Structure 1
Amino acid sequence: MDTATQIWTVKKDEQAAAKKKPKTSAAQVRVQKDLTELDLPPTMKTDFPDPANLLHFKIILNPDEGFYKGGSFNFTVNISPNYPHEAPKVKCTQKIYHPNLDLEGNVCLNILREDWKPVLSLNAVLVGLQYLFLEPNPDDPLNKDAAEDLRRNRDLFAKNVTNSMRGGSVGRESFDKVLA
């Protein structure tokens, strides 16, 4: 085989290998950038069940103050290929008593909905999530009963949070044990 044929064969092999290699999407590039810039406090951890897939991961939040101190809360984060033009989908995997989380784990955080802007990052989402556990917001509730308790009687709300975090019930609703 002459040199020209060898070069041509190598070039064709390289092209075939490049076609097999999946292209990195804009969302993946942005997520990689966001992840390198994350400034997680000691009360938060990320977990990547599939390290090759950065668009789907978990967050573990362990508040060290406030009503939810001592709990361990697990969230899934799913990022669409349209990120950062579309907000990540964040969901709590446990059933908890919180004004800003419904019983299915949906999270009421304005930057995950109408206030999302492409300039926001994963860090902003995680800071917002952490803030919800430090200062639950009864004025923008998904769980209206918890919000009403927080507004009317903070002591009762605190008692209900503690009871629910132990895996107890509030009213007719049973909650997952989340105490670490």
Structure 2
Amino acid sequence: MRVMMAADPKVAALAQARSLNPHPDRVTDPAFLASPFCDPRDLVQVKYEMVRRVRVDSVPVAQAALAFGYCRQTFYEIAAVLDAGGPSALVAGKSGPKGPRKLTDAVMDHIDGWRAAEPGLSARDLAAEVTAELGFTVHPRSIERALARRRERPSGPEQDEEPKTRA
């Protein structure tokens, strides 16, 4: 017989927020585990409390890092991120590329130039031009999507922005 266990909604929420600690079993800090508020599954809370334990409770870095499942080097990295951006910076960022790798602004400027010279060029023609002129391949559909994104971009100051006046 298969036993179906109900999923914990907090675990689902932490996973969706990219804050689920993959190793909650490595958190052994007695004060952290004794508090009903503290949850070793909450990665942001674990990182914050580790830094707080060192800075407020004067626990040595090596001891605190070990008690929260990290090494000293990682402690210093986490502390720097916390100092730079506050607790919200401890949330893991979205994985994957952060911007275009092939169709950068400079490449799109070339494509715009080719389209201005020959308005009838198809995405397939433009992909062939990129290969011939710039030396790398790109799918025609990628060019179509990049052109659509470029058309969506605002071209000047925001329309709803109030003009600045001196008081």
- Normalising by structure 1, what TM-score? 0.20
Give the number of the structure whose alpha-carbon radius of gyration is greater: 2
More strand by share: 1
